[in-house]
Chain A
């Protein structure tokens, strides 16, 4: 049964369709790479799923429910940039998540913070961009959500942290849950992906299982991505 169903989704800004009549399903237990060049509509699609934008037309169903309070309770969203207020300390944001999300595990969060050497009394204001991103990921992955939406989770961190983040993603999702990841670092991520979706100018160029793609074309996802977007005249 799909955890996510999208039917004829359109998001229009002025006269331009940023998401242009997309339909797709994502099954439970899958890690899906949502890939595409800048401006292809990846972040817009993720924001639509998170309920931060409203679709111009079409349907989005998460666990068979329309976007709303019920879907927000089972979706864990990591934005492309940290969203914490500077006045907060780590313990403030932990308490915030524990207050609002029933599926948040303080124990899991504390374990991950310890491994990443982030103290509960550390101030958000004094953190580097990379540390903020790690903290954001810790919070998002400490929830037992049904659908994780990770927008550029490894963009601003060093290679060692990148590996840790990918391990965290794999070890924290279950058969009941799915993960959608957008990224430009395809080579780093493709080893954990089950499916890939290539977006270009708001349309789906390709939607396939990673294994099938490798078998059919005899190439890595990274190579196929580069070929696809060079053929389309995109800049990657």
Chain B
């Protein structure tokens, strides 16, 4: 049943997001080609160059906003409107409904991140302005210069982004679920609850980090004390940033975020199974 719910959720969201993602890819390629066509330093080519970059940034923002709106809107429609009639009269566990929505939201968030990174890469790769810096050999040098700690830190950072994304989606769902307990102004209540959750989670996060700093000062201090220049970014990563990311701070942060995710999941589950209120 989870697979079927996920299939339909993916299908419903694809109708909106796939055309937007295809448009982003097309715009990125066109923008890049228009920049590559530059034959001289004239003002017309500078204008085309600037426009290409501008259109790329706008399309990336559009993709981000559209993904966020679709993720929020789908959960809102499914828990607070007519479409909930269809979903919540199905003979399926509430857990499956939450997980299918969550997985779908995560996949779109992940795809958006991948497309954005690839788009940026495509736009800056081997550009005239940084011809000697951004090319294949440059990235090859970066990889070969990374120490074991540097690679571990990249892995940890990726894991941190992953868990933070989980927590963001769960906070959105939790806010919408809490707002569904009210019969009116649910969108306003959703936004209010989300801001509230954001403040509470961040306040606790800062508090915990302060405690960790006091207990493990070596793992936190000198984090960004040195100016990291673009040219020696790998060295700085290996020596300054990696020890902090690889320290106990990351683990405490993950544990904290996982606790928040669990609490939010329990709240959502309780509301959707025991206090469902589809008007």
Contact = CB atoms under 8 A, between A and B. Distances in A.
Nearest to A70: B91
Given A54-B276, A100-B1, A69 B89 contact: no
Nearest to B16: A87
Interface string A142-167: 00000000000000000000000000
A50 interface: yes
Contacts of B91: 69-70, 72-73, 100-101
A52 B84 contact: yes
Contacts of A53: 276-278
Interface in B71-92: 82-86, 88-92
Nearest to A77: B89
A105 to B, nearest CB: 16
Contacts of B1: 100
Contacts of A77: 85, 89
Contacts of B84: 52, 83
B80 to A, nearest CB: 11
Contacts of A87: 12, 15
B214 interface: no
A82 B85 CA distance: 9
Interface string A61-90: 000000001101101010101111101000
B274 A54 contact: yes
A178 B176 CA distance: 36
A234 interface: no
Nearest to A76: B89
- Size bracket of the A interface: 20 to 34
Given A47-B278, A85-B12, A87-B15, A100 B92 contact: yes
A35 to B, nearest CB: 22
Contacts of A84: 86
Nearest to A78: B85
Contacts of A50: 85, 89
B19 to A, nearest CB: 12
Interface in A94-152: 96, 99-101
Nearest to A99: B4
A54 B277 CA distance: 7
Contact of A51 (B82, B183, B276): B276
A106 B41 CA distance: 67
A96 B278 contact: no
A75 B12 CA distance: 25
Contacts of A81: 82
Contact of B89 (A51, A82, A85, A99): A51
Contact of A52 (B8, B15, B183, B276): B276
Nearest to A81: B82
A46 B86 CA distance: 14
B275 interface: yes
Interface in B251-276: 274-276
A99 B8 CA distance: 10
A100 B183 contact: no
7 contacts: A50-B85, A52-B85, A54-B274, A54-B275, A75-B89, A77-B89, A100-B92
Given A52-B276, A85-B12, 15 more contacts: A51-B276, A52-B85, A52-B88, A53-B276, A54-B276, A73-B91, A81-B82, A83-B84, A84-B86, A87-B15, A96-B8, A99-B8, A100-B4, A100-B90, A100-B92
